[in-house]
Amino acid sequence: MRKKAKNKKNSYSLWLSGGGILVIFGLLLIFWIQSGNARVKEQTLAEGQTSYQNFCAGCHEASGLQLATKPPNLHGLFRRKKLPSGAPVTDQAVRDVILNGRGIMPPFKGTLSNKDVEALIQYLHTR
Ligand code: HEC
């Protein structure tokens, strides 16, 4: 009888600690997923920055270019209401400019993949 009661208590505390372990695993899982998301985001921004340096900075960061139209400054682009052309600043409008070009700005449709363009837009959001 006494032995049985003791067993019952043991299984109860075992169940409790089992719950504790589940909670810890749950928290670890959430933490793991979040740090994974942060890593993916960091990676995307780094890729976007590389594309910007390789394909955009040559015009948009240069001073004294002898171009008929001066490339607009893209710093804080997404904090503005309008693009220099007057179009509202949205991902879609910026994507269109990148893919199709504008005036003397060349199209990047064949040069940048969709993934590159999305990373570039993410990066432009942070500038
Ligand atoms: C050969 C030089 C050149 C390169 C390279 C270039 N741009 Fe441009 N960009 C321009 C010029 C010039 C304009 C102004 C076009 C106009 O309004 O006629 C412009 C305009 C823009 C605009 C504003 C469009 C609007 O609607 O007013 C955005 C956004 C832009 N560029 C983004 C980029 C991004 C992102 C890249 C890199 C993938 C890039 N550009 C590469 C020259 C360039």
Give the burial class of 96: count Cβ atoms within 10 A of its Cβ; 0-12 exposed, 13-18 middle, 19 or more buried.
middle
Asked if the model's pLDDT at residue 15 lies above 60, the reply is yes
Judged against a pLDDT cut of 90, whether residue 2 lies above it is answered with no
Written as one letter, the residue type at 96 is D
| CA 43 – ligand 1 centroid, Å | 24
Q: Is 97 in the pocket of ligand 1 (CB under 6 A)?
A: yes
What's the whole-model pTM score? 0.83
Please name each of the domains of the chain with its CATH number. Answer: 45-127 (1.10.760.10)
Q: What is the pLDDT of residues 21-59, one digit of tens each?
A: 889 999 999 999 999 999 999 999 999 999 999 999 999
Atom of ligand 1 nearest to the CA of 93: 26
- Residue range 96-126, pLDDT digits in tens: 999 999 999 999 999 999 999 999 999 999 9
Q: Give the residue whose CA is nearest to atom 39 of ligand 1.
A: 56
Residue 85 exposed, middle or buried by CB count within 10 Å (0-12, 13-18, 19+): exposed
